[in-house]
C-alpha cells in the first residue's frame, strides 16, 4: 500500500480549520499531520512535521499566507503548497502563485475538488480551482508565475483548437457537439485528450493554458 499523503492545514478560523481537518482525516490515503492558526505557526510546524502538502489560508494574523509561503520555499523549495481563498481575493491568489504555491482552491470548493487538488499537487502538477474567473485567468497568465512556467506548448490540430476555443467560452460538451455537428461522446473524447496534452484537470486549466499560449484571446471570453 502506498504511503499516505500527509497534510498541514493553516487557517485562523478554527471552525473552518476543524471542519476541513475532519473531512480530510476520513480519507484513507490522507493523513493529517497538524494544524496552524497563523503564518508564523505554519512555518514552525512545517519544519517540525514535514508534511507532503500544505493547505493554507491567505489572510492570517501575525503573518499572512503569502509571506509564510515565501519563507518556507526560500529554505525548502520542494514544499508543495495550496492556497485557500475567498472568491474576491484574486490579487492575493496571484501573489500566492508568484510566491511559489502550486495551486489554489476557493474555500467553498466541494470535497471532490479538494481531494483532486491535493492529488494533483502531490504529483508535482499545478491545480487551478474550477471556479476560476476569466479575469483571474488573465491575471495569472500575465503574472510572473506564468512566465516562470512557460515551456514549449503541445501540438493541437485544427479541430482540437476549435474545441479549445469553445471550452474557453464555457460551452458544454453538448453545445459544442451541436455547433460542430459531432456527437457529444466525440466531443468528450476530444476534451479528455486536450486535458491530457495540456496536463490540466479542468476548464480553468484549459483557459489559462490557452491564454498563455495565445490560442484564445482574452477579449473573446
Sign of CA dihedral 216, 218, 219, 221: positive
DSSP codes, 43-77? HHHHHHH--SEEEEESS-SSS-HHHHHHHHHHH-T
Domain assignment present for residue 141? The answer is no
Q: Are residues 175 and 93 in the same domain?
A: no
pLDDT, tens digit (0-9, with 9 covering 90-100), for 46-71: 999 999 999 999 999 999 999 999 99
Domain containing 189 equals: 158-215
- The reply to whether 57 falls in a domain is yes
Average pLDDT over residues 77-91: 91
Cell readout for 61 is 494574523
pLDDT of residue 149: 64
Residues 118 and 182 in one domain: no
Asked if 64 contacts 58 with a C-beta cutoff of 8 angstroms, the reply is yes
Say how many Å lie between the first and final Cα of the chain, rounded: 44
pTM score of the predicted model: 0.91
Same domain as 186, residue 120: no
What value does the mean pLDDT take over residues 207-215? Answer: 94
One domain for residues 23 and 108: yes
In this structure, what C-alpha cell is assigned to residue 27?
480519507
Q: Could you give the angle at the alpha carbon of 130 between the alpha carbons of 87 and 119, nearest 5°?
A: 115
* Residue 1: pLDDT band with limits 50, 70, 90: very low
Give me the CATH number covering residue 191.
1.10.10.10
* CATH number for the domain harbouring residue 38: 3.40.50.2300
Name 121's bridge partners: none
pLDDT recorded at residue 195: 96
Is the residue at 137 inside a domain?
A: no
44 domain-assigned: yes
Amino acid at each position: 500500500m502506498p504511503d499516505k499523503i500527509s497534510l498541514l492545514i493553516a487557517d485562523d478560523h478554527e471552525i473552518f480549520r476543524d471542519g476541513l481537518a475532519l473531512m480530510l482525516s476520513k480519507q484513507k490515503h490522507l493523513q493529517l499531520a497538524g494544524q496552524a492558526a497563523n503564518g508564523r505557526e505554519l512555518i514552525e510546524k512545517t519544519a517540525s512535521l514535514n508534511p507532503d502538502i500544505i493547505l493554507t489560508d491567505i489572510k492570517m494574523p501575525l503573518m499572512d499566507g503569502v509571506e509564510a509561503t515565501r519563507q518556507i520555499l526560500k529554505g525548502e523549495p520542494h514544499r508543495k503548497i495550496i492556497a485557500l481563498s475567498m472568491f474576491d481575493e484574486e490579487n492575493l491568489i496571484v501573489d500566492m502563485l508568484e510566491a511559489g504555491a502550486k495551486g489554489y482552491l476557493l474555500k467553498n470548493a466541494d470535497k471532490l475538488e479538494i481531494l483532486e487538488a491535493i492529488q494533483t499537487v502531490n504529483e508535482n502538477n499545478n491545480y487551478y480551482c474550477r471556479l476560476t474567473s476569466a479575469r483571474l485567468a488573465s491575471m495569472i497568465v500575465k503574472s510572473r508565475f506564468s512566465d516562470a512556467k512557460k515551456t514549449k506548448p503541445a501540438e493541437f490540430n485544427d479541430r482540437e483548437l476549435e474545441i479549445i476555443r469553445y471550452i474557453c467560452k464555457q460551452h458544454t460538451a453538448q453545445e459544442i457537439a451541436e455547433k460542430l455537428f459531432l456527437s457529444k461522446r466525440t466531443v468528450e473524447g476530444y476534451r479528455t485528450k486536450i486535458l491530457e496534452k495540456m496536463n490540466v484537470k479542468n476548464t480553468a486549466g484549459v483557459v489559462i493554458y490557452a491564454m498563455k499560449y495565445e490560442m484564445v484571446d482574452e477579449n473573446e471570453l
